[in-house]
Every structure is written in structure tokens, then in C-alpha cells.
């Protein structure tokens, strides 16, 4: 049971964390229409693959469309290498015009209420996510090197959002220079004017600018929802199969245990023990198997989930321990504990009924 619980918790918690991170992305560009290249593959508000857009021409085209209040160009880049620090496959850069920080990030506080957001488009100041800062001991004033460009950290984001925790955020022009994409962007956040719906605005954008696609909040969710649904279904199916196999295993073990103790149960029956006493003994044994198996499995499963997350993200395992209850939520632990104990109790019902129905005289004659 401990091994089964370990597998269920490790895979289940990791899968839940993955879907949570994907859903968190919808917070970015909240209330805005997201415009990307037509060939871009988008997860929520983030293009993970696809072509760039010419900044000046695209912005000019969009600003000529009625119903648009604000247009914000953004460059989002996945960092596969980080000079001097080795491979970092799950870290990102985001370039945002300095006057549009809050329009994209919202009222994002800085850790320790120290530092500030960059104010110069062409400077070398950046803010970084808290996870990256903890991993590399970065503080306000630290200097880092990204693609042979020296940057100065002027703030550390204080956020629970996993994406931003692994993100280097900088002025748009600086991001374009650092990532060799001068004049190019891959996201345009469009805020509808009052009285204009996102749906009507996306249609107008796609009619006028043929090389882009525009997605409302609902459409962004529709793109990724089937994937999340499949992942969640797979997770539920895997947990169900493992728990059913555990139920069968507990039943088989309990049947053998009851069979080996036929003489003891028959003797109890012969000296006047009530019928429900034998039933209670068997059920208590299987429930204890569930309790101890669940406790061990949840403990080892939580550790395994942290290890999987560490290997997948290339982040040291020690950094995950403070956030263990984010990866394996307490409610999920309680649900798994209850499910495992219930499975063990159900697995003991058939053997317990069999023990109650044994013929005392025949058992005593055979055993004695």
C-alpha cells in the first residue's frame, strides 16, 4: 500500500501542479485581447513556438482599428542557456515597455519592498523572479550576464505565479537587443475601448491584419482546455487503476491471513464471542494497513514529487522544500489518505464476511 500510495501521490501531485501552472498563465493579459503571429502555438497567453511580428508596422495597423484603447507590444523568449550558469531550460525573458509594467503584470510588489522597476528603455536594469534569485543568491544590485550582455538586477518579484518566478523581466528595447530581435515582438496585448466586446475586436483585427491571430480570454482557455482535460482524465484513470489493484491485493492478503487463522476465529466463536467481533478484527487490521501505508506513501510520494519537479525544471531540490504544500496541497494529502484507508477497508469486507460464516465444528475438527 505504501508503494501504491507513493506512486499515486508522486504522479498525481506533479500532474496537478503542471495543470495549475498552465492555468495561472491566464492571469497575464487579463481583460485584454492577445495578438500573435498566425503560426504561433499559444498556451493561454504565452506563445511557446512561432514567428515574430514586425513591431512598428503591426502596432500602426492595430492603432488604426476602431475600438482599441491601448496597444502593448511584448517580447517573450524562452532562455535555453544562461551564460556562466549552465543549462537553464525552464527560464524566460519578457520585454515590456517601461510605461506598461502594471498593464501586463498588474500591481506586482517587489520582495522586501526594496528596489524598483526599470525606468529606462535602453538601460541594463532588470527585475527577476524570486525562484531564480533564491537559486543563484541574487539580490538587488547583483550583476548577471545574459547572452554576453551584463545586466543589473534592480528588483526581485514577490509573486506566487510559477511563470514569473522563473522570469527575467526587462524593458522591451533591452530585451530585443539582448535576444537579437531588434524591431520584433511576438505578443501584442490589446485593451478594448469601453463599449467594445473582445469578440468583435478580434474579428476586426483579423480582417485588417492578415498575418496575425487574435484571441479573447475565452478563446485562449478553449485552446488549452482540451489538453488540460486529457491530462486530468489520465491522472484520474491512473489513480483509479492503482487503487483498484491495491484493493485486489489487500483482499488477497486478507483472505490468506483469515485462512491461516481459522482455528483462532473458530475458537473465539466457540467460547461465545459475538459474530461481529471477528468482522471488526479483520476490518481493523485492514484499516491499519491503510493508515500506515497511506502515511508512508504520502511522505515518500511528496518527496518523489519534489524530486520529479527538480529534475524537470533543473532547480535544486532544496529550493522546493519551502513550497512543498504548493506542489502537494494539504487537501490532496487528506483526500489520498481517506481514499487509501477506504480502499483497504473495502478490501477486508469479503474476507471478514467469510470468517464470520465459517463452520465452527468443521474447523475445530480439522485443526484439532
Q: Which residues pair with 215 in a beta bridge?
A: 34
pLDDT tens digits for range 234-284: 888 888 898 888 888 888 888 888 777 777 666 766 676 776 787 888 889
H or E stretch at 75:
strand 68-82
Q: Which residues pair with 92 in a beta bridge?
A: 78, 167
Query: In the chain, what percentage of residues exceed pLDDT 70?
Result: 90
Alpha helices (runs of H) in 68-216, residue ranges in sequence order: 101-105, 130-136, 162-165, 172-178, 198-208
Tell me how far apart the alpha carbons of residues 346 and 344 are, in angstroms, rounded to a whole number.
5
Tell me how far apart the alpha carbons of residues 246 and 165 are, in angstroms, rounded to a whole number.
38
pLDDT score for 183: 92
pLDDT score for 88: 39
Give the confidence band of 162 by pLDDT, cuts at 50, 70, 90. Answer: confident
Q: Which residues pair with 96 in a beta bridge?
A: 171
For the chain, the structural domain boundaries read 2-11+224-367, 52-185
Residue with the larger pLDDT of the pair 194 and 83: 194
Closest CA to 178 of 144, 149, 145: 149
pLDDT score for 81: 45
H or E stretch at 248:
helix 217-260
Q: 172 and 75 in contact (C-beta within 8 Å)?
A: yes
pLDDT tens digits for range 145-155: 888 889 999 99
pLDDT score for 268: 66
pLDDT score for 293: 92
pLDDT score for 84: 42
Calculate ∠ Cα 48-51-52, nearest 5°: 105
* Cα dihedral 156/157/162/163 (nearest 10): -90
Q: 246 and 336 in contact (C-beta within 8 Å)?
A: no
pLDDT score for 80: 56
Q: How far apart are the first and last CA of the chain?
A: 35
- Mean pLDDT over all residues of the chain? 84
Q: What is the CB neighbour count within 10 angstroms for residue 368?
A: 8
Which cell is 202 given?
Answer: 478580434
Tell me how far apart the alpha carbons of residues 202 and 209 are, in angstroms, rounded to a whole number.
10
Instruction: Report CA torsion sign: 262, 265, 271, 274.
Output: negative
Residue with cell 471478514: 352
Q: 129 and 157 in contact (C-beta within 8 Å)?
A: yes
Regarding pTM above 0.85, the answer is no
Strands 86-96 and 167-171, by their bridges, are: parallel
Tell me how far apart the alpha carbons of residues 280 and 348 are, in angstroms, rounded to a whole number.
10
Amino acid at each position: 500500500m505504501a508503494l501504491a500510495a507513493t506512486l499515486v501521490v508522486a504522479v498525481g501531485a506533479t500532474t496537478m501542479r503542471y495543470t495549475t501552472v498552465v492555468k495561472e498563465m491566464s492571469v497575464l493579459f487579463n481583460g485584454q485581447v492577445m495578438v500573435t503571429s498566425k503560426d504561433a502555438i499559444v498556451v493561454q497567453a504565452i506563445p511557446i513556438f512561432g514567428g515574430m511580428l514586425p513591431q512598428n508596422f503591426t502596432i500602426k495597423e492595430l492603432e488604426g482599428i476602431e475600438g482599441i484603447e491601448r496597444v502593448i507590444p511584448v517580447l517573450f523568449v524562452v532562455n535555453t542557456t544562461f551564460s556562466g550558469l549552465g543549462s537553464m531550460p525552464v527560464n524566460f525573458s519578457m520585454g515590456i515597455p517601461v510605461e506598461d509594467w502594471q498593464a501586463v503584470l498588474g500591481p506586482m510588489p517587489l520582495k522586501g519592498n526594496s528596489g524598483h522597476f526599470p525606468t529606462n528603455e535602453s538601460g541594463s536594469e532588470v527585475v527577476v523572479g524570486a525562484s531564480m534569485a533564491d537559486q543563484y543568491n541574487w539580490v538587488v544590485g547583483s550583476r548577471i550576464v545574459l547572452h554576453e550582455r551584463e545586466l543589473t538586477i534592480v528588483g526581485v518579484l514577490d509573486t506566487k505565479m510559477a511563470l514569473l518566478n522563473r522570469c527575467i523581466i526587462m524593458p522591451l528595447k533591452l530585451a530585443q537587443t539582448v535576444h537579437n530581435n531588434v524591431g520584433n515582438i511576438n505578443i501584442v496585448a490589446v485593451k478594448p475601448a469601453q463599449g467594445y466586446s473582445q469578440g468583435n475586436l478580434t474579428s476586426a483585427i483579423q480582417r485588417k491584419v492578415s498575418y496575425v491571430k487574435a484571441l479573447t480570454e475565452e478563446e485562449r482557455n478553449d485552446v488549452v482546455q482540451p489538453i488540460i482535460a486529457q491530462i486530468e482524465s489520465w491522472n484520474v484513470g491512473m489513480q483509479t487503476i492503482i487503487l483498484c489493484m491495491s484493493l485486489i491485493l489487500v483482499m488477497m492478503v486478507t483472505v490468506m491471513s483469515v485462512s491461516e487463522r481459522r482455528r483462532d476465529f473458530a475458537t473465539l466463536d466457540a467460547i461465545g464471542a459475538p459474530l461481529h467481533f471477528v468482522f471488526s478484527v479483520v476490518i481493523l487490521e485492514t484499516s491499519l494497513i491503510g493508515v500506515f501505508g497511506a502515511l508512508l506513501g504520502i511522505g515518500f510520494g511528496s518527496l518523489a514529487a519534489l524530486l520529479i519537479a527538480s529534475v524537470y525544471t533543473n532547480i535544486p531540490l532544496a529550493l522546493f522544500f519551502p513550497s512543498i504544500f504548493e506542489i502537494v496541497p494539504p487537501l490532496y494529502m487528506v483526500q489520498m489518505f481517506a481514499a487509501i484507508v477506504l480502499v483497504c477497508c473495502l478490501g477486508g469486507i469479503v474476507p471478514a464476511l467469510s470468517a464470520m460464516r465459517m463452520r465452527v465444528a468443521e474447523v475445530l475438527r480439522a485443526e484439532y
